[in-house]
Amino acid sequence: MLSYNKLKDRPRDFLAVTSLTLEEFQRVLPAFQEAYEHRYPTALTRTGNPRQRRAGGGAKGVLQCFEDKLLFILVYQKTNPLQTLHALQFEMSQPQANYWIHQLLPVLQQALATLGLAPERDARLLPTSPLLLEGAPATALDGTERRRQRPTDAQRQKEHYSGKKKTHTDKNILLVNEMTHKVISLGPTLAGKTHDKKAVDTAQVAYPTNATLDKDTGFQGYEPPGTLTLQPKKNPGAGN
C-alpha cells in the first residue's frame, strides 16, 4: 500500500508520484488540512447533519492521517490512473476510491487557491495574475492530453480519439511562467481531437504587454497582439 510513511524517505519516488518534493508537500499540507476541516467540520456528518456520536467512532478508514489524504489525491492527479488501479495502490475498493477522490479534490483545489498556486481558469484575467507577474512576463504555451474512458456514443468516440496519442483523451492548454516553472493558466477541457491552435483560440488568453511566448509548431499562426512569440523552426534535413 502506498503511504506517506513509506515514501517520505524515498525522495525520488516521492517526486515521481506526486510532482512535489517533500519540502513542497509539507508547505501544502497545513493549507490542505485547514481546507479539509473547514469543508468537513468534525461536529457534522458528510451530509451536514449533527453527529450522533463523537468524531472518530466507528470503522477506521484507510486514509486516517492528513498526509495520506494529501498523498492519495496528489498521486491521482499526477498519474491519472483508472479508479480500480488507484484503489489497489491504496488497498481499498473502487467505490471507496471514487468516494475519496470526490471528497478530496475540492479540498486540494481550495488549498492551492489559499496558497496562491491555483492556475487561472479564466485566461482573460491573466494580466493581473500574481503567478504571471512573478518575475518577467516570460511564458510558454503547450497542449496536454490525458487518457479517458472511451465514450459509448460513436460521435463522441471520434471527437475524443487523439491521432497523436492513439487513444481517447481530453485536452487542456497550459500556460507556464518560464521564470518560476509554475502553471499559471489552465484552459477549458476539450475533446482530444481538438487542434492545439483551435484550443488556444477557444481559451481567449489575454497577455500583458511585451510578454514573450514560447510555442511549438502546433500553434503555427497563433500571434497574439502585444507579445513576442518564439517558435522553433523545423530542420529541413530532418528525416532524410
Binned average pLDDT, 10 residues per bin, the chain of 240 residues: 93 94 96 94 73 60 90 94 93 94 96 91 85 82 88 90 86 91 90 92 85 91 90 66
For residue 26, the enclosing domain spans: 4-51+61-114
Same domain? For 103 and 148 the reply is no
Place of cell 477557444: 202
- What are the beta bridge partners of residue 229? 213
Domain assignment of residue 91, yes or no: yes
Same domain? For 136 and 208 the reply is yes
Collapsing DSSP to helix, strand or coil, 42 comes out as coil
Same domain? For 182 and 86 the reply is no
Domain assignment of residue 235, yes or no: no
| Residue ending a domain, choose from 80, 96, 114 | 114
Using alpha carbons, select from 142, 139, 99, 104 the residue that is nearest to residue 28. 104
Using alpha carbons, select from 76, 71, 112, 114 the residue that is nearest to residue 97. 76
| Residue ending a domain, choose from 74, 97, 114 | 114
Domain assignment of residue 220, yes or no: yes
Between CA 39 and CA 167 the distance in angstroms is 37
Same domain? For 74 and 153 the reply is no
Using alpha carbons, select from 174, 172, 176 the residue that is nearest to residue 211. 176
How far is CA 66 from its chain centroid? Answer: 20
| Residue ending a domain, choose from 94, 114, 134 | 114
| pTM (2 d.p.) | 0.78
Same domain? For 104 and 144 the reply is no
The predicted pLDDT at position 52 comes to 67
Total count of domains within the chain: 2
The predicted pLDDT at position 182 comes to 87
For the chain, the 3-state helix, strand and coil shares in percent, each to the nearest 5, are 40, 15, 40
Residue 83 identity (one-letter amino acid): Q
Same domain? For 10 and 110 the reply is yes
199 phi, psi to nearest 5 deg: -65, -40
Phi-psi region of 204 (alpha: psi -120 to 50; beta: other; left: phi over 0): left
Quick one: which H or E segment has residue 142? strand 138-147
Same domain? For 109 and 140 the reply is no
The predicted pLDDT at position 55 comes to 58
